[in-house]
Structure 1
Amino acid sequence: MITIIAAAAENNALGKNNDLVWHLPHDFKRFKKLTSGHHIIMGRKTFESFPNLLPKRTHIVITRNEDYQPEGAIVINSLEKAIDAVKNDDQPFIIGGGEIYKLAMEKADKIELTRVHGSFDADTFFPKIDKEKWKISAEEFHEKDENHEYSFTYLTYERK
């Protein structure tokens, strides 16, 4: 089962200048819990946005740059080849960015989306979720609080 995992605003904003435009500690903890022990597939820019490798995960980086060889990551030149490379993982995750998410929408079985309640100025966006192809199977709302400037909802979508 291939799962897309993302946090996107109500206007589908993901980030700006290769960074998130909000800080949600509980979402980071959920991301770590869900993805630990699995392969995480991402584009080069997403990989380069991390200060370090994410522990307890195998990093698969998609890039067309054949000379790109970051330490600690597996480099592959297409989403199809990345998915093929993780077939022994029962739960690989596609973690971004925007272009990789667009490509993955037809290949994924599940979407774990944190919907951040607000609209943001961004340069990267999550693709529109086609309600004809996806249904919500779980929903959990979190009100803004002293640690979270915005309220958010965890949404689990499954392919119909």
Structure 2
Amino acid sequence: MKARNPNNLPEKVCVVCQRPFTWRKKWERCWDDVTTCSKRCNNERKRSNRIARGAADAEGEDAMQCDVSSDASDGAAEKANKKAAKKAAKAERRARREGVSSGGQKACDLCARSVDLLIRCEIDRSSGWRMVCGRCWKTPAVAGGVPDGDGQNPNYRYGGLWKNLHRTM
């Protein structure tokens, strides 16, 4: 290709910002495919297409929904949710560092109390394995506080311990 006169370069109008832009050497092989003037406009076009595609998918899945929020508010809500999740994770890490958090604790299947140590056991044949806290494990309905069971519950079977590894001392 021979040299071009800089005063006589081809022009196009950007599909995003509607401003004219001129031919560049880097677009020499793909000038017919270029539709945006910059990377910023190209990213904006891709983002708006992605949002439009997501809105179209949502309309297709739920045709009964009448109220469809605007694309801008969807983006703002998504951004706010991400920010809130980030703040919550940071607060949890801070609390764990200070020893205030109950991070890593699990709930007992019988009393729903969150604890750092659970005992895996079978209480009756039909329900399968249960995770119980020490307080519930000591009751006669479970094991009576005896590792192999006290004999009052013939269906009791020990299955191991779960320990909270994120516990702060």
The TM tier, using the shorter chain, reads under 0.3
Asked which structure has the greater RCO (Cα within 8 Å, sep 6+), the reply is: 1
Where is the strand percentage greater, Structure 1 or Structure 2? Answer: 1
TM, length-normalised to structure 1: 0.20
Greater Rg by CA: 2
